[in-house]
Amino acid sequence: MPPQRRQTPRAPRVPNVIEQLLRDPTDHGYRHEAERRARTGEQESAGQRAAMGVLAVAVAALMGWTGVTGYLAQQAEASSPDSARARLARELHVRQQVLDDEAALLAKEQDALSSRARRALEAGGGDGLADRLEANLAAAAGSPLEGDGVRITLDDPTDPETPQERVTSGDLQQVTNRLWRSGAEGIAVNGIRLSPTASIRYAGEALVVDFRALRPPYVVEAVGPDDLHQRFEETGGGEHLEELTRQYRVRTSASGASDLVLPADTTLTVHHARPVDLENS
């Protein structure tokens, strides 16, 4: 079953009172009274005229206040949560380029540091320790991963008719979870490596992977055994993609891929460390 999507309800539009006043500025009660006096020949007293003047001013003030409140209500609608989410999405996309540049710089620094660390371990007689460190980095997505695997693409419809017709975080979670179950050794989404602590979620109207906003199409690349694509199909991955296309018109494709290069996760940090006895390592 595809993930359930919810449509955000919109506030009803407030009637434009100002337009109504421009079409018919005359108070109906005052007009009917004037017509009655014209038919009967009754004259207004000075007090009545003064009272009617005060009433007219009060009605005008009330109408003006109603128009202002209607305008403010429309402005409130314009600043609804939907608009706030759209602004947040734009801000995230603007910042994305800066984050990508910083991530590329960190990746270069991490590669250089890893090379220095391995040379230092080998010089100190810790060949086995260097191999263990490299294996642990690979398991934690801390080093690049190369090999053959699968490439899966999900994209929004070109002309969505409803808010549900789009790729959701749940769609990507379904795909990546099935790839892990199929034996994938590493996965990246739009070039962002998934580590054990990475997350796929929504922030406003942006789909965020490991706290970085992405734009469609969403390209999922996974490195694993030679039959990774077949295993993905056996887990129901192909049927899930077909269901997304049938129910929500999401455009999908899945195929085997060779010579994939998955970058390291540059956001990893060391939480615990202890000295290692090289003689007994």
| Other CB atoms within 10 A of residue 77 CB | 15
Strand positions, DSSP E, the chain: 145-155, 186-189, 192-193, 200-203, 206-209, 212-214, 218-223, 251-262
Q: How far apart are CA 229 and CA 16, in angstroms?
A: 58
Predicted pLDDT at 162: 87
Mean pLDDT, each 10-residue run in order, the chain (281 residues): 45 48 53 63 52 54 58 58 73 76 76 73 66 76 90 94 90 95 95 90 83 92 96 95 95 95 81 67 53
User: What number of CA atoms fall less than 13 Å from residue 29's CA on the CB side?
Assistant: 4
Q: Is the peptide bond before 216 cis (omega within 30 degrees of 0)?
A: no
Q: How far apart are CA 95 and CA 114, in angstroms?
A: 28
Q: Domain limits of the chain?
A: 17-78, 84-262
Nearest Cα residue to 192 out of 258, 115, 277, 266: 266
CATH superfamily placement of domain 84-262: Protein of unknown function DUF881 (3.30.70.1880)
CA 191 to chain centroid: 17
31-69: string of b/e by CB count within 10 Å (b at 16+)?
Answer: eeeeeeeeeeeeeeeeeeeeeeeeeeeeeeeebeeebee
3-class DSSP assignment, residue 223: strand
Model pTM? 0.58
Q: How far apart are CA 280 and CA 209, in angstroms?
A: 41
Q: How far apart are CA 102 and CA 90, in angstroms?
A: 19
Q: Measured between alpha carbons, how far is residue 151 from residues 144, 187, 266 in Å? A: 17, 10, 22
